[in-house]
Structure 1
């Protein structure tokens, strides 16, 4: 290892030790040795280095001696370069350009707070720069006034009961676990108490949300992710493979779903994934969006559903032409 590499390794370790000690009031030498896999002599040198950086460490001697840290933040202020500053404001601009979000109308408030931390000259530069990049093609839906409520329910792991109006209105009771936005719509993923399975609900069909204290469920994020993955694997067991042209990538990138992948094999391109047999009609409709970029479709069930849709469109076109004639 060169002297420069050794210095860089030490600097990175010292930074990590700052994060490690930031929320501690006491530690001993073995804690540091074990956490960073370093020798006793290296740990002693690192403590001396931390003290030289201004970390308020003092030692107590004796058989049960240890190191103590005076209660104050060890982390230095965070500084951003110009590109990072612009990235933050562009991210806020993107938040503003959506129809709504789980965070309420906080965009302008955050924007003003951040902007006021800079000099007048820098504020002018940031404001002018915001006109350079604009988001004009995002899909918007009707405003949903309960996204922030659902977000709070998720954070607090609160079981909720609500009316769900899709076709007919039904009362549903779930533990909400995720909010997802796709193609201009917000969806809430939740564990359905009565079905004992995860379900997806479109948020604009949800109304009259009430906290349900009759049910208590405590799930870690790992348990939630494992449950969602397991259910998806059990539910979607029919694999499909659709050969497409290279140009199909553009439509896929603009309209993709978690269970559909775009793959390249030599000079061939494919849409692949797994679906439930009940989703064949949905997938066939989705494939229509690729137009003439579709080359072949399997399995036969999906091919037949796609063919039926094409025939229906041809029949409608004939009817339209007859009316025009």
Structure 2
């Protein structure tokens, strides 16, 4: 039996038995105990959660985690999975225990040599770009996700506008958009649904004192339907050229809806909170001539001011260059 086949069968066996000794494995696979110890070390490096106990009744056991048995993938399937994993590299934080580098090591390094060569030749030819996550690592993504799945209530500390408040929330789910993680949730303080930025959650733990509400019919697909508009909103209307519509793409913001015409142009309508004026000003400036803000006037004025400051900045640079000459 080849070493690769022995490791695969050993992985399935230890996952099935949960508790075993080196002698049992040596007898099962017809190898020495020293070989079994080396194999167990390799399985541990591949991520099999092994735990050893000494003494007359000692041995090895697999911790309370499931290890998937080996799955046969075609070459195209393996390449597709690699690039799906590759796209995760832009996110510093993921709601899973294993991060991108760990997943890549376990998957990529155990592929056949010719498939790795094929992937290497493709890496500089195909890519999936997304906005980079700018914030430091977000430690509570897994907690938020588990609470959403199990419909648990969390006690969190939430930081916004340089103030920190305690909230009791029941998450609907988490999703990434433009390099940031968001968590729509029911807020027991506001007695309504709210959207939380995950990087602003400073602390999160299970709240056993608050009775959960039934959110089984609410998920990420209909998350915006339950969000109540802020008490104060400004009506937004932005004309987009065909290129502007393409640039806007599949972005989804609460209370905003894109209407696309037959010629490919469109108009973005909805409501925005006054506190988001600066964000949307910078956002639409990045569209250049492909977006024209029609309203609100506050957003138009803010955009004008930003553009005027940019023109002055370049004018000062020109004056400085002339002086140097």
- Per the TM alignment, residue 197 of structure 1 is displaced from its structure 2 partner at its CA by 1.0
Question: 2:240 maps to which residue?
Answer: 244
- Per the TM alignment, residue 168 of structure 1 is displaced from its structure 2 partner at its CA by 0.6
Query: Matched residues in 2 for 1:226 and 1:262: separation?
Result: 17
What secondary structure is seen at the aligned counterpart in 2 of 1:178?
Answer: coil
Query: Matched residues in 2 for 1:112 and 1:322: separation?
Result: 51
Q: What are the within-5 Å matches in structure 2 for residues 90-239 of structure 1? A: 90-115=83-108, 118-135=111-128, 138-141=131-134, 142-166=136-160, 167-224=162-219, 228-232=223-227
Quick check: 1:273 aligned with 2:266? no
For the aligned residues, what is the CA RMSD?
A: 3.6
Distance 1:148 1:169, change over 3 A: same
Query: Matched residues in 2 for 1:145 and 1:230: separation?
Result: 28
What secondary structure is seen at the aligned counterpart in 2 of 1:257?
Answer: coil
Q: Which runs of 5+ in 1 are unaligned?
A: 1-76
Query: Matched residues in 1 for 2:208 and 2:243: separation?
Result: 52
Q: Which runs of 5+ in 2 are unaligned?
A: 1-69, 321-325
Q: Deviations over 1:203-236 (max 9, x none)?
A: 2221122211101215343245698444347669
- Whether the 8 Å CA contact 1:97–1:135 is kept in 2: the answer is no
Counterpart of 1:305 (choices 292, 298, 304) is 298
Question: 2:287 maps to which residue?
Answer: 290
- Per the TM alignment, residue 192 of structure 1 is displaced from its structure 2 partner at its CA by 0.5
> So what's the TM-score if we normalise by structure 2?
0.61
Question: 1:316 maps to which residue?
Answer: 309
What secondary structure is seen at the aligned counterpart in 1 of 2:172?
Answer: strand
- Whether the 8 Å CA contact 1:285–1:306 is kept in 2: the answer is no
What secondary structure is seen at the aligned counterpart in 1 of 2:305?
Answer: helix
Query: Matched residues in 2 for 1:263 and 1:110: separation?
Result: 40
Q: Deviations over 1:131-167 (max 9, x none)?
A: 5434566322222122222222222222111211212
Query: Matched residues in 2 for 1:280 and 1:180: separation?
Result: 20
Aligned length: 245
Question: 1:14 maps to which residue?
Answer: none
- Whether the 8 Å CA contact 1:239–1:272 is kept in 2: the answer is no
What secondary structure is seen at the aligned counterpart in 2 of 1:221?
Answer: coil
Query: Matched residues in 1 for 2:146 and 2:261: separation?
Result: 44
- Per the TM alignment, residue 171 of structure 1 is displaced from its structure 2 partner at its CA by 0.9
- Per the TM alignment, residue 114 of structure 1 is displaced from its structure 2 partner at its CA by 3.9
